[in-house]
Amino acid sequence: MHIKVNRQNFLSAIRTVEKSVKENKIKPILSCIYAKVKGNKIYFTGTNLDTTIKTSIDVNEVIREGEVAFYYSIIDEYLKEIKDEFVVLRVENGNILFIETEDSTTEYDVYSAEDYPNTFENVNLNDSNFKFEMPSQELVNIFEKVLFSADTPDNIAMNCIRIESILKHLHFVSTNTYRLTFLKKNIDKDISDFSVSVPADTISSIIKIIKGLDNEVIKVYKEEAHLYFQYKDTMIITKLIELRFPNYAEILSNISYDKKLYINNEKLHIKYVSNVAEDNQKMYNNLSKSRLTDINKGYTSLGIHRDDYIISINSLDVSIYGSQGQKKSSIISLKLSELKVIEEVIGEKPVLLLDDYMSELDEKRRLKFLDIIEDIQIIITTTHKISIDGKENTYFYVDNGKIEREKNG
């Protein structure tokens, strides 16, 4: 390979594809970017085998075609420091890269490209596998809103954004069992029904790549077990997650965000209060106004992290007027509600952990709680033995670091 190319265009291209590259000590060449000169273009590829990014740029002069694989960081570090508009790249013996400027030549060790995986060399995207298209900033806005609920790296089935089409609607969904984010987008024309789960890491890469675009149109295609995001000469390809995603439609159909529970003669009311303005511009203005104050305080005072519950009993705020027993009952009620939601999302009953929950409950509240729990495993820590009649249970005693087990007869 021997070419003359615009330095800034080369930098932009490798910075695009490197977003799918991860360090791979077992197969170091996968930590590299692949470049191939053919015709008057240079084609770049970065991959971690789950996500692949490809792009290309024009070459000003081709002296010799060829291919090479190189570490992104060392080439980027050098090219961003020099000021030349054009540079000459020359590969000799398959594993030495020379970068020539007007007044210097720098040599780098590189990899022979023959060991680089052949990833999506002959992709045929057409109307038959086209799914939808959307302006880049609109797609970024949707992904950013939905992505925050997909923070479950230990659960592959949910570490993703679910994208589904129904007639002229697109659904974007994520969940981590504690929260579920659902966004519906209307599309001007009918699209064929499809359902895919796109890995959260891929979504993060897409956001980074297209966020700075001048509102390019992003076209989305599906071919076998991969989804393709394409704009101009750039293509982002992701392997889809083929595990079962939770039945979010059933969950949403049963959800009311204003819950009421009754404990004896007490009316427990739980209301979710959002700290985020529905209008994006209003939220931006609020954040701008509080910016200096937030900097001085060292934290952001507005945002979803400031969302909260208002819990009241008989219309009185529990945090102000509730007894210790009422506060404890309210927390337990929230936990029981979470149990139900988690079971609906993952299809399995979770384990409930309670630390000394009896300490601030009167006898009536203790019995009521034990009466309503059923068919679920609970681990309770207390300072004294409690009686759980009619339940299958096992007692463990901890004394000076030793654990003894006693089965309840």
Q: What is the pTM of this model?
A: 0.62
The residue written with tokens 């009185």 in the block is 316
Confidence band for 100, pLDDT divided at 50, 70 and 90: very high
At 14, give phi and psi (nearest 5°). -70, -30
pLDDT at 367 over 80: no
> Between these two residues, 315 and 137, which has the higher pLDDT value?
137
Structural domain ending residue among the three candidates 61, 85, 115 = 115
pLDDT at 360 over 70: no
The mean per-residue pLDDT over the stretch 204-210 comes to 90
Do 17 and 84 belong together in one domain? Answer: yes
- Give the chain's length: 409
Do 241 and 283 belong together in one domain? Answer: no
The mean per-residue pLDDT over the stretch 101-105 comes to 91
- Domain holding 179, by residue range, is 130-246
Mean pLDDT of the chain: 84
pLDDT in the model for residue 340: 81
Do 221 and 163 belong together in one domain? Answer: yes
Do 308 and 211 belong together in one domain? Answer: no
212 φψ region: left (φ > 0), alpha (ψ -120 to 50), beta (else): alpha
Q: Which of 34, 93, 39 has the alpha carbon at shortest distance from 68?
A: 34
Do 108 and 10 belong together in one domain? Answer: yes
pLDDT in the model for residue 113: 87
Least confident of 35-44, 143-152, 287-296: 287-296
pLDDT at 222 over 50: yes
Structural domain ending residue among the three candidates 246, 279, 303 = 246
Instruction: Quote the number of domains for the chain.
Output: 4
**Range ranked top by mean pLDDT from 128-132, 255-259, 268-272, 396-400:** 128-132
pLDDT in the model for residue 264: 56
The DSSP symbol for 29 reads G
pLDDT at 257 over 60: no
Tens-digit pLDDT profile for residues 291-332: 877 786 787 878 888 888 788 887 777 776 677 777 877 887
pLDDT in the model for residue 409: 46
Structural domain ending residue among the three candidates 246, 269, 293 = 246
At 327, give phi and psi (nearest 5°). -65, -45
pLDDT in the model for residue 358: 65
| Alpha carbon distances (Å) from 305 to 203, 219, 275 | 21, 33, 8
| Residue 394 belongs to domain with CATH number | 3.40.50.300
pLDDT at 174 over 80: yes
Do 286 and 366 belong together in one domain? Answer: no
In a domain? residue 23: yes
| Residue 169 belongs to domain with CATH number | 3.10.150.10
Helix (H) / strand (E) element for 332: namely helix 324-346
In a domain? residue 329: no
